A and B are shown apart, each in its own frame.
Chain A
Amino acid sequence: AIQLTQSPSSLSASIGDRVTITCRASQGISSALAWYQQKPGKAPKLLIYDASSLESGVPSRFSGSGSGTDFTLTISSLQPEDFATYYCQQCNSYPITFGQGTRLEIK
């Protein structure tokens, strides 16, 4: 199975900060990567698919990049509603796998 390693595992940041979360795959997955946001007690929400395609309705401050084994999720200017846990997911091969998550907290 393809392993996804997210870094950092947790992150403290302030409103207005630019934040980058990294996801590294154990083998190449082309651009078959998605990013999700999850708030406590809620289902995950798709933000980005195909590594860089913004899901409809997701604010443009979210962006994704990368291909092969290294990917990033960037939030250009943190808003209060962005404090949550973020997961990457590889969509290249079965079994589908997720990263362990990055918890984004308010500094």
Chain B
Amino acid sequence: EVQLVESGGGLVQPGGSLRLSCAASGFTFSRYWMSWVRQAPGKGLEWVANMKQDGSEKYYVDSVKGRFTISRDNAKNSLYLQMNSLRAEDTAVYYCAREVSESTALADWGKGTTVTVSS
């Protein structure tokens, strides 16, 4: 059974930093693209970033470019999102998701971790 477990969320002041982690199990992590998707309170889904199996390709939504960095450790079956210069509008539930092979459709999702940016 595929499991994705996010951690690292919390309350942070504007301008602060957080590092989210996603622990993967139940599948061969190194074979899949992985994504982060967020959902602000009461709002829709917003794709944030994704990363190729070997880390050679990464893509970001414009609103986080230069502030967020996606990374992975295939030996630890883990995905990360380093978030710097956080803003109030980054407040959301952040989901880790596994992409369908040959597509960026998101086949499996974690339960999410909540990030709140507030003073």
Contacts and interface: CB of A to CB of B under 8 A. Distances in A.
Asked if chains A and B come from one complex, the reply is: yes
Interface of A: 1, 32, 34, 36, 38, 42-46, 49-50, 55, 87, 89, 91, 94-101
Given A89-B106, A91-B105, A95-B62, A46 B44 contact: no
Nearest to A99: B44
20 contacts: A32-B103, A34-B103, A43-B95, A43-B109, A44-B95, A44-B106, A46-B100, A49-B103, A49-B107, A50-B103, A50-B105, A95-B60, A95-B62, A96-B104, A97-B47, A98-B44, A98-B45, A99-B44, A100-B44, A101-B45
Given A43-B109, A43-B110, A94-B59, A101 B103 contact: no
Contact of B46 (A45, A94, A98): A98
Contact of B44 (A34, A42, A43, A101): A101
A38 B42 CA distance: 12
Chain B contact patch, size range: 20 to 34
Nearest to B46: A98
Interface string B48-87: 0010000000011110000000000000000000000000
Nearest to A35: B105
A38 B112 CA distance: 13
Contacts of A100: 44
Query: Chain A interface mostly helix, strand, loop or mixed?
Result: loop
Contacts of B105: 34, 46, 49-50, 89, 91
A44 B109 contact: yes
Contacts of B95: 43-44
A14 B97 CA distance: 32
Contacts of B111: 42-43
A91 B37 CA distance: 14
A87 B45 contact: yes
A49 B105 CA distance: 6
A49 B47 contact: no
Contacts of B44: 87, 98-101
